[in-house]
Structure formats: structure tokens, C-alpha cells
Amino acid sequence: MTAIRHGCAGGLAALRGAGTRFPDPENNGRGRLARMLVDLGPTFVKGGQLLSTRRDLLAPEVCDTLAQLYDRVPAMRHEEAEGAVRRAYRTANALPFAEFDWTPVASGSIACVYRARLHDGRQVAVKVRRPGISERMRADFALLAAGARMMEWMPGMRKVPARRMVTQLGFAVLRQLDLAAEATALAALRGNLTGLRYFRIPEPLREVSGDGVLVMEYVPGLGRFGPGEMTREERRELIRRVLHGVYQMLFLDGLVHCDMHPGNLYLTRSAEVVLLDAGFVVPLESHVKRLFAEFFLNMSMGRGKECAEVVLRSSEHVPPGADLDSFRAGIRDLVASAHRRTAGQFRLAPFATKLFDLQRRSGIAAAPEFVFPLVSLLVLEGMINELDVDVDFQAEAIPTLLTALRR
């Protein structure tokens, strides 16, 4: 009903036109699409945020429209926000804030962020969860789980662990509702990335946070993350810094940030990369971290045979009688086609699709845990292409990968 009310034909036409680079003469389908995603709820807003990074797949004007979903989702009304804050501290004698600016500085699908001043004079950022959002998101994932159950009954899809994948993804996305868990993730990221002086993570202030309210250090003077007026060399250095931070998370720390889009990344005047949000952060089990590192290193070095063996070792099920020789040959060809490709020459989505298709045709069930590193890199890929299409993202990973595997 929501799609019909917003004119789904116009929204679909906008995407269809974007995907094929046809113009949208009325220039209104994209706006309807963004408004429709907001009305459908935070689960769909998250999907729109991911799509907004894919300027290689969608027209720039569509990506610009969807990018508004990062932090320009319609904010809570003053009464809603104040009510949520007061409920968070209902057992306290008084609010911990001497001043509170009820005009949000950012408005996301799950929470809004405000500026405030504590009684000791510190300036802070206050993240306030939207009332009733938990029930709505859980209902969305119940529908997705029902769809996954139906998918597993379809011919050719019965060995795909769709329900488990939806369950894992749902757990990670719904975890964003837990602002206490986000505070823990922020603290972990701060500790892990201490050695990278160009990365900055705001400090969570748990002693003054409440239920559904996360108080953290306020970082002043932030600018949007993007090419702006940077030179080519400055853009290249910036994307190398982000890549090294992400590779450390993936291959050394095993703490995957799946939401590193420009709505969560900012720059200080001294070119520090500031990561403000840690809601969609997923820990990787050690064996998954190692297998993913092995695959990425072998792909970076063009070792298709070794990549095939990593995929087989990481799979949940290899059926008796599977044509493993054909499967290995397919992986070798796929890796050869991707070896030493720069960011502008490589697309992760088609690569992953071909990889999963090889597994599906051979009856080899992929491990669902690999979805999180892939989501992290998919979000990052669109941003890399906007900044520097010539960066050799595979070669940049090799030092971190060798360190990880030596451990």
C-alpha cells in the first residue's frame, strides 16, 4: 500500500532509467522513491543507503537523492525527542545536561543526533533512538524471514541457507537498536585503531548515557567526506588511509564495520578520518576472519587454485559427486579476470555473483558468515570509485594480510 501511495511506477521508472542511463523527464520519480523508502521504514532506508554508494550502477542524480537518507531522514518532532530523553533518565534525579539543543545535527533512520552541554561544561553529541522503532524493524525482518523460507522451497535454491542468512543479517541490523552495544563497539574501535593516527573515533560517555540514549564526545569542525577541492594525490592518500583502516578491521581485529558510507564518515580540518557511528559493527569468528584473509591474499596474488581450495574449506556442504574439477577451473578463471585490477576496473557485486553462481551450480553451500565482510566492502567500493578509480585496492591489502596470516 505504501508503494502504491507513493506511485511505485514512478519510483521504479526512476531506478530503471538510472540503471540504463535514461533520463527522467519529469524529474520526480527519484524524489518519490526516497520518500517511499522513508515511509517503508528503517530497514528499507538502510537498503537505500547501500544503493546510494553504487554510482557505478546507478545514475549520479539517483545516488545523490538516496544519499539524503544518510542523515537527512525527517527528524523526530521536538516532543518525541524530549519524551525519549526524559524516559531514558526517568530513574535519575535529573537530566545530565545543563543545555540541550533540540534541533538535530543529524537525522538517521534509527536515531537522531543532538548537541548538548553537560553540567561539567563538556560539549557532547547525544544520539536518541526513535520511539517505537524496535517493533517496526522486527516486523520487517519477520516478513523477510518468511520470504526466505519460501525461497528455500524453490527449485535450485533449496541448498541456499536463505533463512540463516536473513537471521544473521537481521541480528546485525537489529543490533543497531542497542545503543549500549554501540558504545561498546565505539570503545573497541577506538582501542583497535589507536595506531592509525589519521583515524578518530569519538569517545562514548557511558556514565551519562541512558536507555536508548548514547552520549559521546563532540568532535567540532567536521566536513563532509568526499573529494571536494582535493587534488588527485590528496584523494588517493585519503582513500589509502580508509582502506588501511578497513583492512585492519577485517583481517586483524575481526570487527567488521558494515556501514562506512559518507553519512558516517567525516573529515577534520587536519584531514583526520572521523567515524561517528558504530551501530552496524559485527565481530567475526577467528576461523572466518582467517579464511577471508586467505581468500583475499590469494586473489590479490592471482592464485586461483588456492582461492578455490579456500572456498571449499569454508563451505558448509560439498555434495558427494560434485564436479570439483570444473568448480576449481571456474574459480581460477574468475580470479584471473580480477587479478591486479584497479578500483575502476573491478566490481565486487558481479564478482561475488559469479562466485556464488559457481557454488550454486556445483551444489556447494556457501558459509553465510561471509556476508558481513562482503557488505562492508560493497559499501566501501562505491566511495572508493568516487575518490580514486586508479587505486590498487588489492595491493594495498597485502601488507595487512601478511601480518594477519603470520599471527
90-144 pLDDT, tens digit per residue, is 988 889 999 999 999 988 888 999 999 999 999 999 999 999 888 888 887 787 7
Mean pLDDT score, 201-228: 93
Give the span between the Cα atoms of 292 and 364, in whole angstroms: 17
CA distances from 252 to 183, 282, 286, 360, 403 (A): 21, 14, 10, 30, 8
Burial class for 373, CB neighbours closer than 10 Å (0-12, 13-18, 19+): buried
Amino acid, single-letter form, for residue 218: Y
CA distances from 234 to 38, 144, 229, 386, 388 (A): 35, 42, 9, 13, 10
Give the span between the Cα atoms of 187 and 182, in whole angstroms: 9
Considering only residues 269 and 54, tell me which one the structure prediction assigns the higher pLDDT.
Answer: 269
The reported pLDDT for the residue numbered 207 is: 96
pLDDT greater than 90 at residue 331: yes
pTM: 0.79
Long-range pairs, 230-233, Cβ under 8 A, ≥24: 232/388
Q: Model confidence over 238-277: pLDDT tens digits? A: 999 999 999 999 999 998 888 887 778 999 988 899 998 9
Q: Model confidence over 6-28: pLDDT tens digits? A: 454 444 444 444 443 333 433 44
- What are the boundaries of each domain within the chain? 2-67, 75-131+201-218, 133-175, 282-406
Q: Look up cell 583492512; give the residue.
A: 247
The reported pLDDT for the residue numbered 57 is: 57
Listed in sequence order, the residues at least 6 apart from 308 whose beta carbon sits closer than 8 Å to its beta carbon are: 327, 328, 331, 332
The reported pLDDT for the residue numbered 204 is: 98
CA distances from 38 to 3, 6, 67 (A): 11, 11, 12
